[in-house]
Amino acid sequence: MSAELVRALGTAARVRAHAAPQDCACSTPVLADRSDGTVVRHGELVVKAHASDTERARLDVQLAVAAHPALNGILLAPLPSLRTEFDGRPLTYWPHGTPVDPEHPERAPWEAAGDLLARLHGTPVDVLPGPLSPMRGPLKAARAVSRIRAALSRTRDAALHPAAAVVERAWATLPAWARAEAPLTHAAALCHGDLHLGQLVRHEGRWLLIDIDDLGTGDPAWDLARPAAWYAAGLLLPDEWARFLGAYRAAGGPAVPADEDPWPALDVPAKALTVQTAALAVAKAVRENRALDEVEETVVRACDRIAALPAELT
């Protein structure tokens, strides 16, 4: 994206990483470069430029929560720093952790993911710095659906319109809270808000959750919903789903009953994540002027089955 931003982040990271930054020979790779998060590594440190529409007060609370001793061993703690920003984007500083290798998703630490989420959800909110805002899972789903609408308004390719219509029909079956059109009132656990395999890193011999931008209070089932959606679509292996859910339950996670069917609790969030995933896939295919691939088609078919069921009222 912006070479200037990446350069500035590299400088910020180098200065923060070393007492004598002019002497260092570390490389400065770009780990992510998106409008909602640009991340540059320098040695054992990474610096993240958050989205330009980030509310600073909200981010300060999220940072304080990640640094709180109650989250030790669950969330990666930020490195202390003065408030800095670049071009209106707040900068935060973190120790470098090793992510799951995207080339080897079969090595994904599903047990660690389930265990970390259970402990995150079990953290009493009243001991934490506040005020914590609602987690942004439903808002992210709503944004994905608006992205499909924006992408379609700019294309003349009618071939993708049926998939977009399927996504819209599935979205329409969801209750208002899951579409970020009404506040969530039925749960107030500490939630990550955007769990996927890129949100786990290994640091000092243990797995930790990263990325606090969507952290907040809400329905903990939302954090289980992306793997649940992959499993329901037939993409995630039953064994991987069982390992993830089993570890979550073994650690006392509150989102699902200990030994009854988890789907009454997972159903709405998993449907919302299915719609979100399909919406982003269709919007991307429209932008790239291409047909959906097999996996994207699979998620759109799941939306079709969701749309065929009666709407959820709650």
Partner 1 sequence: MQCPKCHAAMHTYNRNGVQIEQCSGCRGIFLDYGELESLTRLESQWSQQVPPPAPAPQAYPAPPAPAWGAPHHGGQHGHHGHHRNKSFGRMLFSS
238 binds partner 1 (CB under 8 A): yes
Only one of the segments 49-57, 126-134, 202-210, 289-297 lies at the binding site for partner 1 (rule: CB under 8 A); that segment is 289-297
What are the φ and ψ backbone dihedral angles of 39, each rounded to 5 degrees?
-125, 125
Number of residues binding to partner 1, judged by CB under 8 A: 47
When the beta carbons of 122 and 241 are compared against partner 1, the nearer one is 241
Return the residue of 277, 282, 286, 300 that touches partner 1, per CB under 8 A.
277
Q: Which of 207, 230, 247, 265 binds partner 1 (CB under 8 A)?
A: 230
Task: Identify which of residues 28 and 277 has a Cβ nearer to partner 1 in the complex.
Answer: 277
Three-class SS state of 267: helix
Is the omega angle on the peptide bond into residue 310 within 30 degrees of 0, that is, cis?
no
Q: Is 306 in the site for partner 1 (CB under 8 A)?
A: yes
Provide the minimum distance between the beta carbon of 253 and partner 1 in the complex, in angstroms, as a whole number: 15
For 189, residues 6+ apart whose C-beta sits below 8 A from its C-beta are 121, 122, 125, 217, 218, 219, 220, 254, 255
The one-letter amino acid code at 123 reads T
Measured distance CA(169)–CA(280) in Å, rounded: 15
- Is 254 among the residues that bind partner 1 (CB under 8 A)? no
Closest to 84 (Cα-Cα) out of 185, 11, 188:
11
Rule CB under 8 A: which of 12-71 touch partner 1? 36
Nearer to partner 1, 69 or 238 (CB): 238
Distances (CA, A) of 93 to 15, 25, 82, 215: 11, 20, 10, 17
| Given 159, 250, 258, 295, the residue binding partner 1 (CB under 8 A) | 295
Bridge partners, residue 190, by sequence? 217
Q: Please say which residue, 222 or 230, places its beta carbon nearer to partner 1.
A: 230
Instruction: Find out whether 1 and 13 touch, Cβ atoms under 8 Å.
Output: no
Under rule CB under 8 A, residue 219 binds partner 1 = no
User: Residues 69, 102, 124, 205: which binds partner 1 (CB under 8 A)?
Assistant: 102
- Asked if 258 is part of the footprint of partner 1 (rule: CB under 8 A), the reply reads no
Q: Check residue 234 for interaction with partner 1 (CB under 8 A).
A: yes
Decide if 215 contacts 125 (C-beta within 8 A).
no
On whether the CB atoms of residues 217 and 190 are closer than 8 A, the answer is yes
| β-bridge mates for residue 218, sequence order | 189
Residues near partner 1 (CB under 8 A): 36, 100, 102-103, 105-106, 108, 140, 194, 196-198, 230-242, 245, 261-263, 266-267, 270-271, 277, 280-281, 293-296, 298, 301-302, 305-306, 308-309
